[in-house]
Chain A
Amino acid sequence: MSLMLRLAMGGAFLAAGWDKAFHPRAFAAALAAYQLVPERLVTLIATVLPFVELVCGAALVIGALTESAALVLGVLSTVFALAVGTAAARGLDIACGCFSASRGGAVDWPHVALDLVLVACAGALLRLGPGSLAVDNWLLVGKAGQGICPKESE
């Protein structure tokens, strides 16, 4: 279950981050259209956010720092849901910029629902842990609780 959630959520954010990372101008325009971010921060956020998505998406897929990645992506998905929801509620007819910088349709309630599903996935991963086939299992904690980095006192 955890493995499927990791692959689905990690894959979604890898795909979303990939397109936005290569089109920062289009993403900045989409971000500015929400009128929620201070104008001085628009380009900075458009520059770093796609890479945070990529790093956390990749971390989920390979199961490294799984719960931390789920935490970051859960918080991001919550923010996205609120942003898209308030934009839809305000009647803004703007590009979503959710899974692509310029394509992917306008802000609407299905996008909010999708973001909430991602929040639920993140919550489930925080509860269930990394599951099988995760780097966390091999590197951070050994089977008997002895990781590859032994405590200093040992």
Chain B
Amino acid sequence: MRPGLGDRLLGAAALVLLGSSLGLAAHGLRQRQLPLLVRYLPAAPRGVRYLTLLQAKQAFDSDRAAFVDARDPEAYRRAHVLGAVSMPAWEPSLGRQDLRALGRADPVIIYCDGPRCGAARKLAQRLARRGLHRLCILTQGWPGWRAAGYPAQGSARR
């Protein structure tokens, strides 16, 4: 006799419940636990500074800073900080030429879609691993820069 739909669903619920319980039990046994039910953000590396809009603008005006856009390429194409290079945080490879250029900049200011986005932290982590120093994150990100009316470029500059 084959089980009916109700029995299958009941069995499926039991399997999911068992798997979830085991997962949570294993989580409880881990020494370095991932915090559950909090916003997932890759940890920012040590030494990364967070900049206000004003500090970022002063660095922009100094001409020694480099801006790095950690958002996806489409968002970068639409509009970005004037002169910023695009380095999507999740892209597996980082351009060597861009890395070399960033190595000479002071500071390197990374931004994404505002204080709630994790892409800038993620990219800061990757750049630090590649030996870059003087990394900063623009806390307000692109929305803050745009709202302040600071220099920008792109196909749909607003």
Contact = CB atoms under 8 A, between A and B. Distances in A.
B23 A71 contact: no
A65 B11 contact: yes
B46 interface: no
Interface string A114-125: 000000000000
B23 A41 contact: no
A67 B35 contact: no
Contact of B37 (A40, A65, A91): A40
B92 A93 contact: yes
The secondary structure that dominates the A interface is helix
B8 A67 contact: yes
Contacts of B8: 67-68, 71, 126
A91 B39 contact: no
Contact of B38 (A40, A48, A52, A69): A40
Interface residues of B, number: 38
A43 B23 contact: no
Interface string B57-81: 0000000000000001110000000
B91 A29 contact: no
A62 interface: no
Contact of A33 (B7, B16, B90): B90
Contacts, number: 110
A72 interface: yes
B2 interface: yes
A62 B72 CA distance: 44
Q: How large is the interface on A (under 10, 10 to 19, 20 to 34, 35 or more residues)?
A: 35 or more
Interface string A73-109: 0000000000000000011111100000000001000
A44 B15 contact: no
B101 interface: no
16 contacts: A24-B30, A40-B38, A40-B39, A43-B40, A47-B24, A48-B24, A51-B23, A52-B19, A53-B19, A55-B19, A65-B15, A68-B14, A71-B9, A71-B12, A94-B90, A141-B1
Q: Which 8 residue pairs are nearest across A and B when measured between Cβ atoms?
A: A68-B11, A52-B19, A51-B23, A48-B23, A42-B40, A55-B19, A65-B11, A39-B39
